[in-house]
Structure 1
Amino acid sequence: MLDWLLHGQIAVGEGHLAVREVVGNVFGLASALLGMRLVVWAWPVGLVGNALLFTVFVSGELSGAVAEPLWGQAGRQVMFAIVGGYGWWRWSRHRAEGAARVAWAPRWATWSERLVLLAAGAAAYAVAWAVLHRIGSWGPATEAWILAGSLLATWGMARGWVEFWLVWIAVDVVGVTSLVRAGYYPTAAMYLFYGAFCVIGLFAWWRLERAARTRPGAIPVDEGVPA
C-alpha cells in the first residue's frame, strides 16, 4: 500500500496521474471542508496532504510537462505545515471539552489587521519572487503569488478572520492556470473546485459571524477561553 501511495500511477486517457498527488489533494479538500465547519481536525488532516504534495512538487518531472521543481508549491506545503501546527494549537484552545468542534465564532479583521495583511502580502511576494527566481523555480512570478497568498490565507484561517476566504479566491484564480500549464492536472482541478468552494465557505463564515454578533455569550476568536 505504501509503495502504491508513493510510486503508483492512475491511467487517464493516454497519460497518467501520480497517486500521491491525487490523494494529497483529497486530504487538502477534506481539510477545507472541516475548516469551513470549524472542526479542529481540519489541521491534522491538512498536514497529511501537505506531506504528500511536498513530495510531488519537489520532483518536477512527476507532472510530465516540466522538468524543474515547483519550489513555490513545495515551499507552500512546508509553510502550511508550520502555520497548520499553529492553527491546530490555537483552535484546540477554543474547543469545548469532549466536543469535536471549536467553541468560538469567526470574525472580520479590523482595518489595522487588514493593513498588516496587505503589507505582509507585499513583502512576502517580493521575498518569494526573489528567492524563487534565484533558485530557478518554474514560473517564479505566479509561484510567488501563490506562496505569499497561501501564507496569508492560512494565517487568517488560524486567526479566524472571514477575509481569509477572499485571499484564497485570489490564490486560486492564478493557481488554476499556472498548474494547468505545468501539467499538474489533479492539483489544478482541486484549485478550480476549491475556488467555488471558497465562495461557499465565505458566505458560511459570514453567516456564523453575523449569528455570533446577535447571540448572547458568543466567544470572539481572539479572546480565547480559560484552559
Structure 2
Amino acid sequence: MTTDAWLAQLTAAAASLSGWELVAVLLGVAYLLLAVRESLWCWYAAFASTAIFLWLFWQVGLLMESALQVYYLAMALYGWYQWRGGASTPAAASLQPLPIGTWPVRHHLLAVAAILVASATSGFLLERHTDAMLPYVDSFTTWGSILTTWMVARKLLENWLYWLVIDSVSIYLYLERGLFLTAALFAVYLVIVVFGYRQWRKQYHLQCTSG
C-alpha cells in the first residue's frame, strides 16, 4: 500500500469514528490512570466505558469481546467492593484498604496454560459455528482479559505484565476491525501499563518494608 493510499484510509477512518467510541476511549484512559493511583474512582470510569464498548464491539462482530464487556461490568462492581477492603461503608473502607499482593511462579504457569487452552477451545468453536471475526485472536484477548481483570480487582502486582501482552495483541485485533480510535487507546495503555507496574511495584516494596 502506498503512502497516499494509507493516508486516505486513515482519513476515511477518522471521519467514520463514533462519538461514543471517543467517550469510551476517554473513560478507558481515565480508568487506567486512576487505577495506577489506586483510586476507587477507577471502577466508576471502568463501568461507564465498558457499557459503551459492549455496544460497539457487538456492532462490528467481535462476539467474544462483546461477552467480555458483560464480565467487565460485573468486575467493575466487584473491584469497587474489593478495593474498599470488602467494606460496606466509606468509613470502614478507609481503615482497611486492599493491599497490593503478588503470585508465586506456579500460579502464573497455571494461569497462562488455562488462558491458552480456553482460547484454543473457544476459538475453534467460534470458527466452526459462528461468523465471528478473528476467533482465535478474539478468544485470546478475551480469556486473558477475564483473568487479568480479576487480578486487578484483587490488586495483584503482576496484572500489569499480563496487560502488556494482552493490549499488544488487542491493538492488532482492533486495527483489523476498523476500530482505529480503540487501537490508539490500547497503544496509550501500553505506556500507562509500564508506568503502572513501576508505581505498584514501588508501593508493594513499601508495604513489605513497613509491614
Identity %: 25
Q: Give, in whole Å, the separation in 1 of the partners of 2:58 and 2:194.
A: 30
Pair 187,100 (structure 1): closer, same or farther in 2 beyond 3 Å = farther
Specify the alignment match of 2:6 in structure 1.
none
Larger helix fraction of residues: 2
Q: Give, in whole Å, the separation in 2 of the partners of 1:175 and 1:102.
A: 35
User: Deviations for 1:114-165, whole angstroms, at most 9, x for unmatched residues?
Assistant: 2442243234313431343232211111111110111111011111111111
TM-score, normalised by the number of residues in structure 2: 0.84
The structural deviation recorded for 1:80 is: 1.1
Mapped pair 1:143 → 2:141: no
* 8 Å contact from structure 2 (residues 82, 98) kept in 1: no
Pair 174,56 (structure 1): closer, same or farther in 2 beyond 3 Å = same
The structural deviation recorded for 1:47 is: 0.8
Name the amino acid aligned to 1:43.
Answer: W
- Map residues 85-124 of structure 1 onto 2, 5 A cutoff: 85-93=77-85, 97=91, 103-124=97-118
Q: Give, in whole Å, the separation in 2 of the partners of 1:91 and 1:114.
A: 22
Among residues 65, 74, 93, which one is paired with 1:82 in the alignment? 74
Q: Any idea what SS the aligned residue of 1:58 has?
A: helix
Aligned pairs, how many?
Answer: 197
Please identify runs of 4+ aligned residues in structure 1 that moved more than 6 A: 98-102
The structural deviation recorded for 1:212 is: 0.6
Mapped pair 1:178 → 2:159: no
* 8 Å contact from structure 2 (residues 64, 138) kept in 1: yes
Structure 2, unaligned runs of 5 or more: 1-9
Q: Give, in whole Å, the separation in 2 of the partners of 1:167 and 1:51.
A: 23
* 8 Å contact from structure 1 (residues 128, 147) kept in 2: no
* 8 Å contact from structure 2 (residues 86, 93) kept in 1: no
Q: Give, in whole Å, the separation in 1 of the partners of 2:200 and 2:39.
A: 13
TM-score, normalised by the number of residues in structure 1: 0.79
Pair 123,90 (structure 1): closer, same or farther in 2 beyond 3 Å = farther
Q: Any idea what SS the aligned residue of 2:17 has?
A: strand
**Further displaced range: 70-79 or 18-27:** 70-79
